[in-house]
Amino acid sequence: MLTTVQIRALKPKARPYKVPDADGLFLLVQPSGALLWRFRYKVFGTDRKLSLGSFPEVSLRCAAKT
Protein backbone atom coordinates (compact mmCIF):
# COMPACT_ATOMS: atom_id res chain seq x y z
CA MET A 1 0.00 0.00 0.00
CA LEU A 2 1.26 3.43 -0.93
CA THR A 3 1.48 6.37 1.42
CA THR A 4 1.37 10.06 0.60
CA VAL A 5 5.02 10.42 1.66
CA GLN A 6 6.07 7.64 -0.77
CA ILE A 7 4.07 9.24 -3.60
CA ARG A 8 5.65 12.66 -3.08
CA ALA A 9 9.11 11.04 -3.16
CA LEU A 10 8.59 9.49 -6.63
CA LYS A 11 10.89 10.93 -9.30
CA PRO A 12 10.31 10.88 -13.07
CA LYS A 13 12.43 8.63 -15.27
CA ALA A 14 13.12 8.58 -19.02
CA ARG A 15 10.12 6.29 -19.60
CA PRO A 16 6.74 6.12 -17.85
CA TYR A 17 6.54 3.58 -15.02
CA LYS A 18 3.85 2.14 -12.76
CA VAL A 19 3.79 2.06 -8.97
CA PRO A 20 1.17 -0.44 -7.73
CA ASP A 21 -1.07 0.21 -4.74
CA ALA A 22 -3.71 -2.53 -4.31
CA ASP A 23 -6.53 -4.32 -6.13
CA GLY A 24 -5.64 -2.98 -9.59
CA LEU A 25 -5.01 0.63 -8.53
CA PHE A 26 -1.67 2.07 -9.60
CA LEU A 27 0.07 5.37 -10.09
CA LEU A 28 1.58 6.09 -13.51
CA VAL A 29 4.65 8.33 -13.25
CA GLN A 30 5.23 10.23 -16.50
CA PRO A 31 8.62 11.57 -17.70
CA SER A 32 7.15 15.09 -17.34
CA GLY A 33 6.67 14.43 -13.61
CA ALA A 34 2.89 14.00 -13.81
CA LEU A 35 1.45 11.44 -11.37
CA LEU A 36 -1.69 9.83 -12.82
CA TRP A 37 -4.06 7.44 -11.05
CA ARG A 38 -5.15 4.43 -13.09
CA PHE A 39 -7.34 1.44 -12.23
CA ARG A 40 -6.99 -1.86 -14.09
CA TYR A 41 -9.90 -4.31 -14.23
CA LYS A 42 -11.28 -7.09 -16.44
CA VAL A 43 -14.59 -7.30 -18.26
CA PHE A 44 -15.38 -10.68 -19.83
CA GLY A 45 -11.67 -11.55 -19.77
CA THR A 46 -10.55 -8.32 -21.47
CA ASP A 47 -8.21 -5.97 -19.61
CA ARG A 48 -9.48 -2.42 -19.23
CA LYS A 49 -8.00 0.70 -17.64
CA LEU A 50 -9.85 3.57 -16.04
CA SER A 51 -8.27 6.99 -15.52
CA LEU A 52 -9.13 8.49 -12.12
CA GLY A 53 -7.22 11.77 -12.34
CA SER A 54 -3.88 13.17 -11.29
CA PHE A 55 -2.21 13.43 -7.91
CA PRO A 56 -2.66 15.66 -5.83
CA GLU A 57 -6.01 16.75 -7.35
CA VAL A 58 -7.24 13.21 -6.66
CA SER A 59 -5.88 12.19 -3.28
CA LEU A 60 -4.72 8.72 -2.30
CA ARG A 61 -7.78 8.32 -0.07
CA CYS A 62 -10.17 9.32 -2.85
CA ALA A 63 -8.49 7.07 -5.44
CA ALA A 64 -8.52 4.09 -3.06
CA LYS A 65 -12.26 4.48 -2.41
CA THR A 66 -13.07 4.23 -6.12
Q: How far apart are CA 62 and CA 43, in angstroms?
A: 23
In a domain, 50, yes or no: yes
In a domain, 13, yes or no: yes
In a domain, 34, yes or no: yes
In a domain, 65, yes or no: no
Task: List per-residue pLDDT tens for the chain, 66 residues long.
Answer: 899 999 999 999 999 999 999 899 999 999 999 999 999 999 999 999 999 999 999 999 888 886
Q: Which amino acid is at 58?
A: V
Q: What burial class does residue 27 get, using C-beta atoms within 10 Å of its C-beta: 0-12 exposed, 13-18 middle, 19+ buried? A: buried
CATH number of the domain enclosing 39: 3.30.160.390
What is the pTM assigned to this prediction? 0.90
Domain that holds residue 34: 4-60
In a domain, 66, yes or no: no
63: nearest Cα among 28, 38, 34: 38
Q: How many domains does the chain have?
A: 1
Q: Using CA of residue 15, residue 11, residue 19, residue 25, what is the dihedral sign? A: negative
